[in-house]
Amino acid sequence: MKWIFGLIIVGALIFSTWLFFFEKPDLIKIMSPQSGAVVKSPLLVEGEARGFWFFEASFPVKLIDEQGNLIAQGIAQAQDEWMTENFVPFKATLEFSTSATSGFLVLEKDNPSGLPENSAEVRRAVRFKK
């Protein structure tokens, strides 16, 4: 019985670590695509990000394969006033062609300073439609 409780605790720790490093729901929320979704071109990316994730109402978005090779890149645009600490809706569209079967959607906090302490990103696993 104690080992079941231990497994539950370990599972909760793994999930919370994954959530912290990959999703960052307190900073950015991706509404679509869902994690693990099968995507095709053009890929519509929608969600909400805190105003400070943007710079001049936009931030970079990339699509990479599992080896980190760039498949597509674009810009997410704020759909409302972005000079706030609140969540702001955004949209981006990525057109791509790939032979890869899976990869990641990467949403980067815009960082015009280039300073590492100001950089952040969120990755979402996706699969590519053949």
The string of pLDDT tens digits covering residues 27-85 is 899 999 999 999 999 999 999 999 999 999 999 999 999 999 999 999 999 999 999 99
Provide Rg for the chain, Cα atoms.
Answer: 16
Is residue 94 included in any domain, yes or no? yes
Strand order in the sheet with 102-108: 28-32, 43-50, 87-94, 70-78, 58-65, 102-108, 121-128, 38-39
* CATH number of the structural domain spanning residue 39: 2.60.40.650
Is residue 113 included in any domain, yes or no? yes
Greatest Cα pair distance, the chain, in angstroms, is: 55
User: How would residue 105 be classed by pLDDT, with cut points 50, 70 and 90?
Assistant: very high
Please give the pLDDT value at position 15. Answer: 43
Is residue 104 included in any domain, yes or no? yes
Is residue 80 included in any domain, yes or no? yes
Is residue 17 included in any domain, yes or no? no
The string of pLDDT tens digits covering residues 9-24 is 444 444 444 444 445 6
Please give the pLDDT value at position 60. Answer: 97
Please give the pLDDT value at position 127. Answer: 96
Q: How long is the chain?
A: 130
Is residue 62 included in any domain, yes or no? yes
Domain count, the chain: 1
Please give the pLDDT value at position 24. Answer: 65
Domain limits for position 118: 26-128
The pLDDT of residue 106 is above 90 = yes
Please give the pLDDT value at position 17. Answer: 42
Please give the pLDDT value at position 121. Answer: 94
Please give the pLDDT value at position 2. Answer: 52
Is residue 31 included in any domain, yes or no? yes
Please give the pLDDT value at position 4. Answer: 52
Is residue 9 included in any domain, yes or no? no
Strand 58-65 to 70-78 pairing: antiparallel
Dist CA 9 CA 69 (whole Å): 36
The pLDDT of residue 3 is above 90 = no
Q: Do the Cβ atoms of 89 and 46 come closer than 8 Å?
A: yes
